[in-house]
Each structure stands twice: as structure tokens, then as C-alpha cells.
């Protein structure tokens, strides 16, 4: 099978071209000698099977960043039949040296000058024949966003693959040790092949940036925009979520209930309360997750998130992070998993690890569901919003504290280089494809853990069989008694200790675990909690739930993104310790003041 590697600088539309070439067939794969997983897809090119690999965006093949090292590792350890170099038509003056570096390596290559539509609007003209003559490589002018020139892309790929054999580069940095003259060659090529106005006007971008990048109004506007995005996610997603839950409950009550008289009690309980409820748990919150991915893909493709990273970089730099870390933390308020995956845009490993350490403290939507229920059940309508606001503040305090404490150990000396793209109206097809890829990846991982977690809840609350489900004598109750000496000092009793243990699997299971432990639901459960917990215990429980070990899906993502089990272990130990200390100080302090 032929192998094609996509190479380009950030903001060239490389990933958009990859999505257009591969459709929805992309998957994560690992490669010999490469330290991170890469996106790959199998396609048909010129009637033959080929594999396309989307390499990280890089500025230079012999640079020192992690992304540049990953690209070198791939090319040095894996034979490549063709390198497709993607360039931004509006920035050829500083992107052509990368294409020249690929040529100097002796790799079979084609060059796709992308964003032709944007270049035309700005008055930029590219003479592809002159460019191809100077580069000594095939060149095509395209727009991956709207598909123009796509037929030429396929033709060039097929024609070039048909006449070359796979090549593996041995030592890229040594080969490119004396390539300073490539910059001069690139300048000459630009003069011959590119014509552009003396000042490229970006009127819409400049007008918007006067407000969105304003030093005083920029951040408030960002919070307002993100508030609107999250409001849209829940306004649209919650009714759909309720409808899905209604359908699943109806199916269980009307169809599965009839199996109760046909199957042994234990088997029926396992199939319905364990397996079916596990699937229903995943399915019920999928609508919100889908909307989250799609809307965040829309915001990101518009070019706005790059500006937020720029706005917050000064603050985050004092914490050992950069502006992108702030964006990832905000994404974590929807779901920690995609936020962790989003750290791939960071070029430095230390910076990525530090950001992955703070993201799990973001108050995700799963925790929010728990807090909304508890604040409604245990606090007055006037108190509840203040309690919820305090938890959000505590989320930021925990994240910033973690960043400060670990920034020396995970120190990054690499400057924050960010190229701010012009605003673009996202292409619906690309947004849907990108969102669907992330949703599919999430469902594959999350469904496994959540269903397994619900089955575990069922087992622990139903065995030994002689005990009342969820009551004294069950394995769950015994575990709660073991944990009591550790959690009693922070106001959490044995039954709520078991609930926390289930929350480790997935925070969505917390409310279900309360139902399983008490045998109550809805208003009856709220009344029970109000009788057995005062406000100090309730807030201590919510603090611990906010800060303690993130769900298994988050930990699995941390493991896959960091490729370090030790890092995940350290993250778990730190979050547990911080949760206990914070809850202990609050609980004991509140009791002392009350006494």
C-alpha cells in the first residue's frame, strides 16, 4: 500500500484537506519511532489503495519543538511514497522554505497552494507554472474549504504515486545542516511567481479585532460569546437528552419489563439494571456531547480561539502556561476529554503535560448535573446560584494553584508563537466531519468505561444476594465502611463514600449510585438527602466531587495523550490530595465557626 504524508505549517488548511481527502474514515494510529499517535486514513488514489498520514503542523524540519521532532521521527523511521506539502497562498513568502526543505531531502513530493479563494479576495496572484519550475515539483492551486482544484489534487497524487518508490530519510538534520540559502531561493521564487498588493487589506478581520482583541473589552466579550455557546448547547441538547431518556425508559418499561417473569431474578436485574442501564446512561447524554463538539468545531474553525489564546497569554504565562491552556480549560467545562485531546496543538511536551494536569479541575457538564441536583435539593433558591458560582470559582483556583506549583517541574522555555488567522465562515461539511470524528472517538472510549461502571455499581450493590440491594451487608456498603475513617473528617458518611467511588468511573453515575444506595429517586431522593446532610456536609461533598480523581475516560485520555502511566498516577494522587485537604479545611473550619 502506498503511503502519503501531509506536511504543512499551522494555519495552512492541511487538516481541512486531509478531511476532504479521507471523509470520515480517519483513525488514530501509532507508528514506529514516533512518540505520539497520528491521524491516518486509507483511501483510493488512482485506482490503488493508499494511506494518508496527517503530520503535526510545523515551521521548520530541523527545529527543536516537539512537533518538528515528531515529523522528523516519522520520516526517518517510516518509508514514504509521497509527501504532500500544503502551503497558504497568502503567506508564501515565509512558507516556501518548508517546501524547499522537503525537496532537499530527496523525498518525492507535490505542493498544494491552499486558500486560493482567500488569496483572490485579497488580490494575491500565484503563477503555479513559475512556482513549479522553481521548486522542480508539481504544484496545484486549490481551496480545501470549498473543494476548488480538488480534481487536480487527486490527479497529481495519482500521477506522482504511479512513478515513484517509497523513500526513507536517514538523518534529516544532518541533510539540512547547510540550508540557509533556501531562504534566499524562496525570496526569489516569491518575486517571480507571486504578485500581491503592497498592503493586504483584511477589512472585516481588522474591524472585528478592534473589539475582540481590545485589551479592556476582549475578555468580557469572549466570556459572553462562550456563555452563549454553552447556553445553546444545553438549550438545544437538554430537550433532546430528555427525549432520548424518555424513549429508553419507555422501551424498558413496555418491553423489557415483560422479561421479569421469564428470567431468573438475578439475570434479569443484571441485564436490565446493569447492561441496559449502562447503554442508556451513555445514550442519554450523547446529544449534549455531539452539540458540544460541533459548536466548538465551528468556533475553532472561525479563527476566534486563536485570538482568545493571544488575549489570555499574559495571565497564563505567570502560571507557567500559555493562552492555549486557558482555551483548553474552558473547553473542559463542557467535557474534560476533548479538552485534553485539544492539547495536541501545543508544541512543547512540558507545556502539554502541565495543561493536561490542570484541565481535570474544570467543572465539566457531568459534575454540573450532580451540583444542580444537590444545590436544588439542599439550598434555597436564593442560595443555590451563589453555591454554584463558588464551585466555579473554586475550579479556577484549583487549576491555577496546580499550575503554579507544578510549573517549575514542567517548565517550558519555548516562546509562545501564534499565527492569528483571518476570520473565516466555517464550511458546514468540514465542521460536521470534524465534529463527527471527535464524537466517534469519544463514544468508543466513553461507552466502554461508563457501561462497565454501571455494571460494577449493580454488582457491588446487589451482592451478596442475601443482603438488601444497596443496603448493609453488600460489597458496596462494606467498601463504604472501609473508606469511612478517611472521609468522615470531611463530613462524608459511608453511603456517600460509595457514591464517590462510583463517580470515579464516570461522574454521570453519581446520581444513579445515590438511587441505588437509597432505593429512592427524584423528589424522594432530594428529601432523603435534605434529612441526612446539612449545608456544611453538602458543600464539602460537592467540593470533594469537584476536585477529586477525574472519571476513567479522562484518565484514559490523559494516558493516551501523555503516553505516561506515571504522569497519570501523579495526576490522580495530586487531585485526591488536593480534594481532601480543601474539603477538610472547609468542613472543620465551618464546624469550628459554627460551634
Q: What is the 3-state secondary structure (H, E, C) of 268-279?
A: HHHHHHHHHHHH
Given this model, what pLDDT does residue 426 score? 74
- CA atoms within a 13 Å half-sphere pointing along the CA-CB vector of 538: 23
CB-based burial label for 180 (10 Å; 0-12, 13-18, 19+):
exposed
User: pLDDT per residue over 321-341, tens digit each?
Assistant: 877 787 788 778 777 877 887
Mean pLDDT of 569-595: 93
Given this model, what pLDDT does residue 32 score? 56
Which three three-digit cell numbers place residue 282?
451513555
Contacts of 243 (CB under 8 A, 6+ apart): none
Which range (97-101, 368-372, 532-536) has the least confidence?
Answer: 368-372
Would you place residue 164 in the very low, low, confident or very high pLDDT band (cuts 50, 70, 90)?
low
Distance CA 336, CA 341 (A): 9
Say if residue 34's pLDDT is above 90: no
Would you place residue 85 in the very low, low, confident or very high pLDDT band (cuts 50, 70, 90)?
very high
Given this model, what pLDDT does residue 113 score? 95
Give the domain ranges of the chain.
Answer: 2-195, 219-365+382-412+427-440, 447-594
What number of other Cβ atoms are within 10 A of residue 155's Cβ?
Answer: 14
pTM: 0.64
Contacts of 48 (CB under 8 A, 6+ apart): 2, 161
- 34: nearest Cα among 76, 70, 83, 75: 70
Given this model, what pLDDT does residue 64 score? 66
**Pair 41, 141: CB distance under 8 Å:** no
Distance CA 221, CA 233 (A): 18
Mean pLDDT of 36-50: 84
The superfamily CATH assigns to domain 2-195 is: P-loop containing nucleotide triphosphate hydrolases (3.40.50.300)
Given this model, what pLDDT does residue 542 score? 93
Say if residue 30's pLDDT is above 90: no
Given this model, what pLDDT does residue 434 score? 66
**Pair 24, 437: CB distance under 8 Å:** yes
Given this model, what pLDDT does residue 577 score? 95
**Pair 576, 548: CB distance under 8 Å:** yes
Say if residue 17's pLDDT is above 80: yes
User: pLDDT per residue over 92-133, tens digit each?
Assistant: 988 999 999 999 888 899 999 999 988 888 888 999 999 999
Given this model, what pLDDT does residue 380 score? 83
Higher pLDDT, 19 or 87: 87
Q: How far is CA 373 from CA 336, 387, 388, 494, 542, in A?
A: 21, 12, 11, 20, 11
Which three three-digit cell numbers place residue 377?
435539593
**Pair 342, 331: CB distance under 8 Å:** yes
User: pLDDT per residue over 401-456, tens digit each?
Assistant: 999 999 888 877 666 666 677 777 777 776 777 667 666 766 665 566 666 766 77
Given this model, what pLDDT does residue 152 score? 92
Distance CA 390, CA 535 (A): 14
CA angle 488, 281, 522 (to 5 degrees): 60
**CA dihedral (503, 506, 509, 511) positive or negative:** positive
Which range (188-192, 293-297, 451-455, 507-511) has the least confidence?
Answer: 451-455
Mean pLDDT, the chain, rounded, equals 81
Beta-bridged to residue 88, according to DSSP, are 114
Q: SS3 letters for 451-471?
A: HHHHHHHHHHHHCCCCCCCCC
Which three three-digit cell numbers place residue 319?
502560571
Higher pLDDT, 132 or 33: 132
Q: Which residues of 524-562 are buried (b: 16+ CB within 10 A; e: fewer)?
A: ebbebbeeebeebbbbbbbbbbbbbbbbbbbbbbbebbb
CA angle 382, 235, 305 (to 5 degrees): 100
Higher pLDDT, 15 or 55: 55
Mean pLDDT of 61-67: 73
Residue for grid cell 461507552 = 447
Distance CA 527, CA 524 (A): 5
Would you place residue 6 in the very low, low, confident or very high pLDDT band (cuts 50, 70, 90)?
very high
Beta-bridged to residue 140, according to DSSP, are 112
State which H helix or E strand residue 164 sits in: none
Given this model, what pLDDT does residue 121 score? 81
Distance CA 391, CA 10 (A): 36
**Pair 142, 116: CB distance under 8 Å:** yes
Given this model, what pLDDT does residue 551 score? 82
Higher pLDDT, 529 or 438: 529
Mean pLDDT of 453-472: 75
Given this model, what pLDDT does residue 35 score? 55
Higher pLDDT, 417 or 150: 150
Distance CA 352, CA 345 (A): 9
Q: Is the omega angle on the peptide bond into residue 464 within 30 degrees of 0, that is, cis?
A: yes
- CA atoms within a 13 Å half-sphere pointing along the CA-CB vector of 495: 17
Given this model, what pLDDT does residue 140 score? 95
Provide the 8-state DSSP code for 551.
Answer: -
Distance CA 75, CA 6 (A): 11
Say if residue 138's pLDDT is above 70: yes
Q: How far is CA 115 from CA 90, 299, 428, in A?
A: 8, 19, 17
% the chain with pLDDT above 90: 23
State which of 7-21, 548-562, 572-586 shows the largest mean pLDDT.
572-586
Say if residue 81's pLDDT is above 80: yes
User: pLDDT per residue over 196-245, tens digit each?
Assistant: 876 655 666 778 888 888 888 888 888 788 777 767 776 787 788 778 87
% the chain with pLDDT above 70: 85
- 160: nearest Cα among 109, 102, 100, 85: 109
- 374: nearest Cα among 274, 189, 514: 514
Given this model, what pLDDT does residue 521 score? 60
Given this model, what pLDDT does residue 428 score? 75
Given this model, what pLDDT does residue 114 score? 94
Contacts of 571 (CB under 8 A, 6+ apart): 356, 357, 360, 555, 558
41 three-class SS: strand
Would you place residue 82 in the very low, low, confident or very high pLDDT band (cuts 50, 70, 90)?
very high
Would you place residue 586 in the very low, low, confident or very high pLDDT band (cuts 50, 70, 90)?
very high
Distance CA 297, CA 294 (A): 5
User: pLDDT per residue over 338-348, tens digit each?
Assistant: 788 778 767 67
Which three three-digit cell numbers place residue 152?
487536480
Which three three-digit cell numbers place residue 36?
505520539
User: pLDDT per residue over 238-251, tens digit each?
Assistant: 788 778 878 888 88
**Pair 326, 226: CB distance under 8 Å:** no
Distance CA 231, CA 225 (A): 10
| DSSP-derived secondary structure for 233-250 | HHHHHHHHHHHHHHHHHH
Given this model, what pLDDT does residue 349 score? 82
Amino acid at each position: 500500500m502506498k503511503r502519503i504524508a501531509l506536511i504543512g505549517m499551522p494555519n495552512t488548511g492541511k487538516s481541512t484537506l486531509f478531511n476532504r481527502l479521507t471523509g470520515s474514515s480517519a483513525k488514530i494510529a501509532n507508528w514506529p519511532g514516533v512518540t505520539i499517535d497520528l491521524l491516518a486514513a486509507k483511501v483510493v488514489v488512482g485506482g490503488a489503495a493508499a494511506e494518508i498520514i496527517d503530520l503535526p503542523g510545523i515551521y521548520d524540519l530541523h527545529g527543536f519543538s516537539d512537533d518538528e521532532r515528531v515529523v522528523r521521527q516519522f520520516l526517518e523511521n517510516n518509508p514514504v511514497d509521497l509527501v504532500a506539502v500544503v502551503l497558504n497562498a497568502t503567506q508564501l513568502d515565509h512558507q516556501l522554505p518548508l517546501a524547499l526543505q522537503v525537496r532537499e531531502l530527496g523525498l518525492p513530493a507535490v505542493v498544494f497552494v491552499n486558500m486560493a479563494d482567500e488569496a483572490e479576495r485579497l488580490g494575491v496572484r500565484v503563477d503555479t507554472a513559475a512556482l513549479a519550475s522553481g521548486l522542480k515539483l508539481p504544484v496545484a492551486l486549490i481551496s480545501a474549504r470549498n473543494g476548488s482544484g480538488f480534481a487536480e489534487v487527486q490527479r497529481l497524487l495519482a500521477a506522482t504515486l504511479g512513478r515513484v518508490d517509497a523513500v526513507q530519510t536517514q538523518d534529516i538534520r544532518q541533510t539540512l545542516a547547510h540550508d540557509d540559502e533556501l531562504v534566499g531561493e524562496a525570496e526569489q521564487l516569491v518575486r517571480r511567481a507571486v504578485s500581491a498588493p503592497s498592503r493586504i487589506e483584511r477589512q472585516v478581520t481588522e474591524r472585528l479585532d478592534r473589539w475582540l482583541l481590545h485589551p479592556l473589552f476582549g475578555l468580557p466579550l469572549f466570556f459572553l460569546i462562550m456563555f452563549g455557546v454553552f447556553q445553546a448547547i444545553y438549550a438545544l441538547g437538554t430537550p433532546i437528552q430528555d427525549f432520548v431518556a424518555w424513549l429508553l425508559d419507555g422501551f424498558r418499561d413496555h418491553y423489557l419489563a415483560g422479561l421479569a417473569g421469564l428470567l431468573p431474578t438475578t439475570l434479569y436485574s443484571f441485564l436490565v439494571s446493569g447492561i441496559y442501564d449502562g447503554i442508556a446512561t451513555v445514550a442519554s447524554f450523547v446529544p449534549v456531547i455531539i452539540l458540544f463538539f460541533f459548536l466548538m468545531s465551528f468556533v475553532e474553525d472561525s479563527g476566534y480561539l486563536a485570538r482568545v489564546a493571544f488575549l489570555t497569554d499574559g495571565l497564563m504565562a505567570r502560571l507557567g502556561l500559555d493562552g492555549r491552556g486557558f482555551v483548553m480549560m474552558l473547553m473542559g467545562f463542557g467535557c474534560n476529554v476533548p479538552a485534553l485531546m485539544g492539547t495536541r496543538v501545543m508544541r512543547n511536551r512540558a507545556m502539554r503535560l502541565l495543561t493536561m494536569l490542570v484541565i481535570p479541575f474544570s467543572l465539566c457538564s457531568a459534575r454540573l448535573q450532580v451540583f444542580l441536583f444537590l444545590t436544588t435539593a439542599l439550598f434555597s433558591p436564593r442560595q443555590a446560584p451563589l453555591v454554584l458560582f463558588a464551585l466555579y470559582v473554586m475550579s479556577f483556583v484549583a487549576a491555577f494553584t496546580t499550575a503554579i506549583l507544578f510549573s517549575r517541574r514542567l517548565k517550558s522555555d519555548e516562546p509562545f508563537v501564534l499565527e492569528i488567522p483571518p476570520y473565516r465562515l466555517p464550511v458546514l461539511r468540514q465542521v460536521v466531519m470534524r465534529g463527527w470524528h471527535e464524537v466517534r472517538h469519544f463514544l468508543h472510549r466513553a461507552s466502554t468505561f461508563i457501561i462497565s461502571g454501571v455494571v460494577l455499581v449493580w454488582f457491588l450493590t446487589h451482592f451478596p444476594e442475601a443482603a438488601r440491594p444497596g443496603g448493609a451487608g453488600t460489597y458496596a456498603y462494606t467498601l463504604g465502611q472501609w473508606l469511612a475513617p478517611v472521609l468522615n473528617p470531611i463530613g462524608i458518611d459511608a453511603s456517600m463514600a460509595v457514591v464517590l467511588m462510583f463517580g470515579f468511573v464516570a461522574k454521570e453515575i453519581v446520581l444513579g449510585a445515590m438511587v441505588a444506595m437509597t432505593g429512592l429517586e427524584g423528589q424522594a431522593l432530594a428529601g432523603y438527602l435534605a434529612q441526612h446532610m446539612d449545608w456544611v456536609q453538602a458543600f464539602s461533598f460537592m467540593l470533594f466531587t469537584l476536585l477529586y480523581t477525574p472519571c476513567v475516560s479522562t484518565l484514559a485520555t490523559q494516558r493516551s495523550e501523555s503516553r505516561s502511566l506515571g504522569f497519570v498516577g501523579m495526576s490522580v494522587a495530586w487531585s485526591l490530595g488536593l480534594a481532601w485537604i480543601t474539603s477538610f479545611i472547609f468542613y472543620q473550619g465551618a464546624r469550628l465557626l459554627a460551634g
